[in-house]
Amino acid sequence: MSDEEINMEILLDHYRSPRNYGKIEKPSVELVEYNPVCGDAVQFTLKIENGILTDVKFIGRGCSVSQGAASMLTERVKGKSTEEVMNIGPQEILSNIGLNLGPSREKCALLSLNALQKSVRKYRDGEK
Amino acid sequence: MLTSDEVKQDFPIFETLGDGYAYLDNAATTQKPRSVLDAIHNFYTSQNSNVYRGIYRLSEDATDSYHKARRNIAEFIGSGNPDSLIFTRNATESLNLVASSLGKGLRPGDEVLISIMEHHSNIVPWQLWLPAGVKLKYADIDSEGHLDMESFQENLTGRTKIVSLVHESNLLGTINNAMEIGRIAHDNGAVFILDGAQSVPHMPVDVERLGCDFLAFSGHKMLGPMGIGCLYGRMDILEKMPPFLGGGEMIREVYRDHSVWNDVPQKFEAGTPNVAGAIGLSAAVDYLRSYGMENVRSHEKRLMKKTFDLEQEAGIPELISYGPRELENRGGIYSFNIGKIAPMDLESQILEESSLKIGSAVHPHDVASSLDGDKIAVRSGHHCAMPLTHRLGVVATSRASYYIYNSESDVENLFQAIANVAVKYHER
């Protein structure tokens, strides 16, 4: 198996059996992000305590890239500080997926990062 | 009979892409034969200069070639008068031209009747008149994807001033009965506009026979270059219409406070036109004519028959396809899904049970990516027909669309690849 094939299998595994799938009861913040072009959507619920993302869950629908990437992202950020979440760049997500996606599908891959970072901003705005 | 393998040899891109590459996105744009590329190259290497009013031989030659291209393309669609053919950038601009200009004559309460199977380019230009009180009405489709004539008649009223209809749907492949619709529209006193973006490249289209007042089409969807399109219009209507864009070429005289318009078609061609594009499109018309549009049409019918046969044989679980099944009313466009994913918007909730657990449906983006891995180019999305996609109850579809260089083995490869997708994603 080539690296590309292995990475595809990892993504499909996240797609078929998403991690941290569902909704947190009484979350600190929740947010839906949606791409009208393809209909991909994710909803994040976050539990934030003392600047730490103690729990994160998502539900969503869409292609393997958007949903697989969301699942991978939840594993990456659980237990991390909101500061660290805000510092994740798109390139990290793309290299983590490790597939040659092309510009149109990179949007699918980055939908969940946008949603998550928007959620954190929404939480911080609410705190002020 | 047309042999796609021979046709393919006229298209340099297939040498680049290599054997076994199935380009099945012809409803989006088509490949260019050598003769079209040469015509464009020749213009820039031997005639390049601006058209009209150049008092030197080079400019006169360019002007002459531009005129010849106009006459040739006008004849191709059955118009004996080259002046009835306006050059635009594409079918979208053609429809914007006619909507913008005719729209100025509409009054509040006047109605424009279109169908639910329109491309955005035959929806949005009309929506621009909604603030002026113009009403936009949609004729529905029936369960098989034909235009629902009952719905069409219901939506046609005494206030219907314009009927604008797609000739062949870019998603369903439905070929509408333009002649009949045109007759009904005219009996109602309405102007009849035909969007020929998917019909002119694929079948004989004759404006006199069809009786349409306007016909819009794009060059790049019929082997011509990008950036050139056409609007045919009936001369008596064109002469009464106000201009679309203002600037050079479209005027006869300009004063400080007013201008005098040029004659049709120049009245509608502001600025330096795409001369090389027109010449390239004319070469594309010659190329198509060398095969004959009847033969182009029969070739695509054969490919559709093969498509329907293979769809039956392959028995791919949950494969859904759209559009009429009878070949007479069906162009070479095949939109399909593996399972059904319903559309949604921000207002609708994502439900845990309705989201990832969408059964074994495969998102059209995954379908297209997977097919790309098997050297098959298809498009997935809403195909610039969001109202139709949502009318079908799905978020998107995948679409294969054929042309003269596609072969039955391309169709076989398509179904093999669809079967692969179904297996790959059904494992969960």
Instruction: Answer whether A59 sits within 8 Å of B355, measured CB to CB.
Output: yes
Inspect the interface and report whether the beta carbons of A61 and B358 lie closer than 8 Å.
yes
Candidates B25, B337, B338, B344: best to mutate against A (most CBs of A within 10 A) is B344
pLDDT higher than threshold 70 for residue B101: yes
Please give the pLDDT value at position B257: 96
Long-range contacts of B130-134 (CB under 8 A, 24+ apart): B132/B103, B132/B106, B132/B108, B133/B107, B133/B108, B133/B109, B134/B103, B134/B106, B134/B108, B134/B110
**What mean pLDDT is predicted for residues B222-231?**
98
Query: Contact A21/B356, CB-based, under 8 Å?
Result: yes
Domain ranges for chain B, please list them.
4-31+292-426, 36-289
For the ranges A31-35, B324-328, B402-406, B410-414, the lowest mean pLDDT is seen at: A31-35
Q: Say whether pLDDT at B357 is over 50.
A: no
A→B contacts (Cβ < 8 Å), by residue, are 12, 15-18, 21-23, 32, 34, 36-43, 59-65, 67, 105, 108
HEC sequence for B229-263: EEEEECHHHHHHCCCCCCCCCCEEEECCCCEEECC
Q: Quote the tokens at residue B282.
A: 């004319």
- Check if B230 is active-site: no
Out of A12, A59, A63, whose CB is closest to B352?
A59
pLDDT of the residue at B72: 98
**Cα–Cα distances in angstroms (integers) from residue B107 to residues B98, B110, B277, in the given order:** 16, 6, 37
Of B339, B238, B224, nearest in space to B283 by CA = B224
- Contact by Cβ (8 Å): A11, A68: yes
Do B197 and B4 contact (CB within 8 A), yes or no? Answer: no
Q: Which CATH number fits domain B36-289: 3.40.50.2300, 3.40.640.10, 3.40.1190.20, 3.30.565.10?
A: 3.40.640.10
Mean pLDDT across B298-308:
98
CATH superfamily of B4-31+292-426: Aspartate Aminotransferase, domain 1 (3.90.1150.10)
Based on the number of CB atoms within 10 Å of its own CB, is B96 exposed (0-12), middle (13-18) or buried (19 or more)? buried
The H or E element containing residue B163 is: strand B160-166
Residue B111 dihedral angles phi and psi, to the nearest 5°? -125, 145
Residues of chain A contacting residue B422, judged by C-beta atoms under 8 Å apart: none
Q: What is the pLDDT of residues B159-218, one digit of tens each?
A: 999 999 999 999 999 999 999 999 999 999 999 999 999 999 999 999 999 999 999 999
Query: What average pLDDT does range B270-283 have in this prediction?
Result: 98
Contacts of B368 (CB under 8 A, 6+ apart): B378, B379, B380, B398
* Torsion B15-B19-B25-B27 (CA) sign: positive
Q: Do A105 and B395 touch (CB under 8 A)?
A: no
A contacts of B364 (beta carbons < 8 Å): 38, 63
Interface test with A, best of B349, B358, B360, B369 (most A CBs within 10 A): B369
DSSP B219: S
Give B2-16 pLDDT, tens digit per residue: 899 899 999 999 999
Query: Chain B residues with CB inside 8 Å of A64's CB?
Result: 363, 366, 425
Tokens for B74, please give them. Answer: 């006008």
Q: Could you give the percent of chain B with pLDDT greater than 70?
A: 95
Query: Under an 8 A CB cutoff, do A64 and B363 touch?
Result: yes
Residue B395 is predicted with a pLDDT of 85
Residue B91 has pLDDT above 50, yes or no: yes
Residue B425: is its pLDDT beyond 90? no
Task: State pLDDT tens for residues A34-81.
Answer: 887 777 889 999 999 999 999 999 998 889 999 999 999 999 999 999
List chain A residues with CB under 8 Å of B371. none
- What phi and psi, each to the nearest 5 degrees, are found at residue B182? -60, -40
Nearest C-alpha in A relative to B394? A39
Name chain B contacts of A108, Cβ cutoff 8 Å: 365
Q: Give the pLDDT of residue B428.
A: 46
Least confident residue range of A11-25, B142-156, B257-271, B349-363: B349-363
Q: Tell me which of A15-19, B40-44, B406-410 is least confident.
A: A15-19
Does B354 have pLDDT greater than 70?
no
- Asked whether the beta carbons of residue B355 and residue A60 sit closer than 8 angstroms, the reply is yes
**Inter-chain CB proximity A63 and B366 less than 8 Å:** yes
- Integer angstrom CA distances of residue A98 from A3, A74, A92, A93, B183: 8, 17, 10, 9, 58
Mean pLDDT of B390-405: 94
> How far apart, in whole angstroms, are the C-alpha atoms of residue B103 and residue B97?
10
Alpha carbons B279 and B37: distance in angstroms, whole number: 10
Average pLDDT, chain B: 94
As separate numbers, helices (DSSP H) first and strands (DSSP E) second, chain B gives 15, 15
User: Mutate which of B358, B360, B363 to test chain A, going by most A C-beta atoms within 10 A?
Assistant: B363
Interhelix angle B364-373/A103-127, rounded to 10 degrees, is 140
Q: Considering Cα of B13, then B17, then B20, then B26, what sign does the dihedral take?
A: negative
Q: What per-residue confidence (pLDDT) applies to B348?
A: 56
Sort out which chain B residues have CB atoms less than 8 A from A36's CB and list them: 345
Q: Is the pLDDT at B50 greater than 80, yes or no?
A: yes
d(CA B360, CA B383): 23
What is the spatial distance between Cα B72 and Cα B284, in angstroms, rounded to a whole number?
A: 10
**Residue B51 pLDDT > 70:** yes
Structure ipTM over 0.85, yes or no: no
Ramachandran assignment for B11, one of left (phi > 0), alpha (psi -120 to 50 degrees), beta (any other): beta
Catalytic option among B384, B395, B404, B411:
B384
Cβ atoms within 10 Å, residue B428: 12
pLDDT of residue B360: 64
CA B240 to chain centre: 27
Domain ranges of chain A: 3-127
Q: Which residues pair with B25 in a beta bridge?
A: B401
What are the structure tokens assigned to B10, written together?
Answer: 């006229």
Q: Which chain A residue has its CA at the smallest distance from B362's CA?
A: A63
Contacts of A67 in chain B (CB under 8 A): 356
Mean pLDDT of chain A: 92
pLDDT at A1: 78
Rounded Cα–Cα distance for residues B86 and B282 (Å): 14
* pLDDT at residue B285 greater than cutoff 80: yes
Question: How many other β-carbons are positioned within 10 Å of the β-carbon of residue B257?
Answer: 5
A19 Cα to chain B: minimum distance (Å): 12
- What span, in angstroms and rounded, lies between the C-alpha atoms of A46 and A95? 25
**Spelled out in words, what is the top-level CATH class assigned to the domain A3-127?**
alpha beta
pLDDT at position B427 over 80: no
Residue B398: closest CA among B375, B421, B428:
B421
Q: Å from B189 to nearest chain A CA?
A: 38
DSSP symbol at B365: H
Query: How large is the average pLDDT for residues A95-105?
Result: 89
- pLDDT band at residue B352 under the 50/70/90 scheme: low
Q: What is the pLDDT of residue B349?
A: 58
**CA-nearest residue of chain B to A62?**
B363
Decide if pLDDT at B380 tops 80: yes
Task: Tell me the C-alpha distance between B285 and B278, whole Å.
Answer: 10
